[in-house]
Structure 1
Amino acid sequence: MERILSKTKGDRWIWLIVILLSVVSLLAVYSSTGTLAYKQGKATEAILMKHLFMMIGGIGLMYISHKLDYRYYAGISKMLMIITIPLLLYTLVFGAHINNASRWIAIPGTGLSFQTSDMAKLALITYLARLLSRKQENIKDVKQSFVPIMGSVCIVFVLIAWANMSTALMLFGVSILLLIIGRISVKQIAVVCLAGGLLTMMVMFLGPRRHLYITRIHTFMHPEAVSSDKKFQGDHAKIAIASGGIFGKGPGNSTERNYLPEAFSDEIYAIIIEEYGLLGGVFLMGIYLFLLYRCIKIVTKAPKAFGALLAAGLSFSLTIQAFANMAVAVGLGPVTGVPLPLVSMGGTSILFTSVAFGIILSVSRHIDENEQKNKKVVVGQILEVA
């Protein structure tokens, strides 16, 4: 154990959070995939093992990401943006249609699919952190700073929103928070928000999924005026939460997993509350809040603007996504199709979430190493004086 701990650097609490979320994920996915296994003619254990291998792969990526000096991600972000935009365009035109949406690129010969929006989130956040940190000296300059920053945000937003509005809106919100932290003027931020609002309306009323967006919003705002089949998912999520009570039905005793269409992904929080009760739901919420708290501490200690912006953007992205998923499960928002980070069953979502954790830990590792160097310098000076 000591040997393993000696090779893992950075905030120990974040490593603990990752372990806790992984355990919760394994328990919840095993419990919620019974119906899926039956439909696919597989054993539940086979689906669980596939999920376990994906999580192990994610932890491996997180370990590699945290060992790499976070400053290298400035250069990597530029390459990611160059790759991401053509991939998003390709996805819209040639993407595999899953659940009536072109969000995935099928990997030939593997039977696997790749969700490009997961990569786009990581690419845009790291790229924004790079731009904002490098342009601090002339951050108020419209031509040199504001135009390239606004352009990158709006282009990625539109390309994601065309097929995945919920992910695009959350990414846009994270981008606005980064602009605020990066000292962009209030007027310029207002322009970005206005542009984002106009682009949202354009996609909602002109995009290929306009009927779905309008239906979901109408169902959420006026549930009494729509048929039961349109609010089926939301109703059964509420039933799961209500039947869980304070202490829950116990692990593996969920009944709503047989009705919820995405019990192992979008609605996994409802299944967790049904089995572990209100206490389990609050505990999971507390884990994400504690993650945000630890990340904010990293942001405040980061010696360079890029590290602070990088940790802030990635931590905001993870926690906003988590609370968006939980809000939908308890009926505080329309159905979005957003997974619960590191808990929901998934492929690329788990991998890119793990990389995001790794980058945050890389910033934390750099802070710890600087503090140790400073302590050695201080001790050396004291010894010289003595």
Structure 2
Amino acid sequence: MKISFKADTVLALTVLFLLLFGLIMITSIGVPKSISLSAPDVLYPNCSDGKVDCYLLFKNHLVRLGIGLASFFIAFKVSIKIWKKLATPLYGIAVFLLFLILIFGRSFGTIATNWLLFFNTSFQPSELAKLALVIYLAYWLSKKQSSVESFKDGLIP
């Protein structure tokens, strides 16, 4: 029996294209911001100057992209049984981080205070909350597999 992986290939190529497109965009539009972040005290910054890092945002993005890809491959290799065990604690941690935003949230020039500073980088707990919610709902619906067909029995807690 031959199994077709056409959809997986298309999805993987689409993700790869979006990652490369993001790197190109960060490189092309991030130079002025990189200059202002790396050398705010230089009056006339130049990329050939040793103090100025014209690709600071690109380098930061590349590091975060590497962390994200490594996390993806690690999560891909984790057994479904472990994800089921982690669903509730992960959801609890996400809700706790969302409450921390109310106390320690930072705005970074916007009205919304939905960022937390974490080891010299900013972090949006809402992104983790989305992932945790999907994992928790998948776990919850897998427990109610026999009664999911009925709205009353399957989706109402």
> Given that residues 91 and 103 in structure 1 are in contact (C-alpha distance below 8 angstroms), is that contact kept between their aligned partners in structure 2?
yes
Write the mapping of 1:90-105 to structure 2, written as runs, cut at 5 A: 90-98=100-108, 99-105=110-116
| Equivalent residues, number | 136
Which residue type is aligned with residue 23 of structure 2? L
Identical pairs, percent: 27
Pairing partner for 1:15 from 8, 12, 15: 12
Cα separation, 2, equivalents of 1:16 and 1:72 = 28
Matched residue SS, 1:97: coil
Cα separation, 2, equivalents of 1:52 and 1:77 = 29
Cα separation, 2, equivalents of 1:112 and 1:121 = 20
What is the deviation of 1:80?
Answer: 0.9
Which residue type is aligned with residue 122 of structure 1? L
Q: CA RMSD in A?
A: 2.3
Write the mapping of 1:62-81 to structure 2, written as runs, cut at 5 A: 62-81=72-91
Any idea what the Cα deviations from partners look like across 1:11-65, whole Å, max 9, x if unmatched? Answer: 3443333322221111111011123123323422122111111111111111111
What is the deviation of 1:91?
Answer: 0.8
Relative contact order higher in (CA < 8 Å, ≥ 6 apart): 1
Cα separation, 1, equivalents of 2:151 and 2:20 = 48
Give yes or no for the alignment of 1:118 onto 2:122: no
> Given that residues 37 and 43 in structure 1 are in contact (C-alpha distance below 8 angstroms), is that contact kept between their aligned partners in structure 2?
yes
Q: 1:30: which partner in 2?
A: 27
Write the mapping of 1:1-386 to structure 2, written as runs, cut at 5 A: 11-40=8-37, 41=39, 42-98=52-108, 99-107=110-118, 110-139=119-148, 140=150, 142=152, 145-147=155-157
State TM-score, norm by structure 2: 0.74
1:16–1:134 distance in 2 versus 1, CA, 3 Å: same
> Given that residues 30 and 44 in structure 1 are in contact (C-alpha distance below 8 angstroms), is that contact kept between their aligned partners in structure 2?
no
Cα separation, 2, equivalents of 1:70 and 1:13 = 24
Which residue type is aligned with residue 139 of structure 2? R
What is the deviation of 1:105?
Answer: 1.4
> Given that residues 147 and 153 in structure 2 are in contact (C-alpha distance below 8 angstroms), is that contact kept between their aligned partners in structure 1?
no
Which residue type is aligned with residue 120 of structure 2? G
Any idea what the Cα deviations from partners look like across 1:280-332, whole Å, max 9, x if unmatched? Answer: xxxxxxxxxxxxxxxxxxxxxxxxxxxxxxxxxxxxxxxxxxxxxxxxxxxxx
1:100–1:141 distance in 2 versus 1, CA, 3 Å: closer
More helix by share: 1
1:135–1:34 distance in 2 versus 1, CA, 3 Å: same
What is the deviation of 1:71?
Answer: 4.3
> Given that residues 105 and 113 in structure 2 are in contact (C-alpha distance below 8 angstroms), is that contact kept between their aligned partners in structure 1?
yes
> Given that residues 81 and 120 in structure 1 are in contact (C-alpha distance below 8 angstroms), is that contact kept between their aligned partners in structure 2?
yes
1:52–1:134 distance in 2 versus 1, CA, 3 Å: same
Matched residue SS, 2:115: strand
1:15–1:144 distance in 2 versus 1, CA, 3 Å: closer
Matched residue SS, 1:137: helix
Cα separation, 2, equivalents of 1:27 and 1:116 = 27
Matched residue SS, 2:14: helix
Cα separation, 1, equivalents of 2:78 and 2:11 = 17
What is the deviation of 1:146?
Answer: 0.6
Cα separation, 1, equivalents of 2:79 and 2:98 = 28
What is the deviation of 1:136?
Answer: 2.8
Any idea what the Cα deviations from partners look like across 1:314-358, whole Å, max 9, x if unmatched? Answer: xxxxxxxxxxxxxxxxxxxxxxxxxxxxxxxxxxxxxxxxxxxxx
Cα separation, 1, equivalents of 2:123 and 2:16 = 25
Matched residue SS, 2:114: strand
Any idea what the Cα deviations from partners look like across 1:183-233, whole Å, max 9, x if unmatched? Answer: xxxxxxxxxxxxxxxxxxxxxxxxxxxxxxxxxxxxxxxxxxxxxxxxxxx
Matched residue SS, 2:136: helix
> Given that residues 103 and 115 in structure 1 are in contact (C-alpha distance below 8 angstroms), is that contact kept between their aligned partners in structure 2?
yes
Which residue type is aligned with residue 67 of structure 1? K
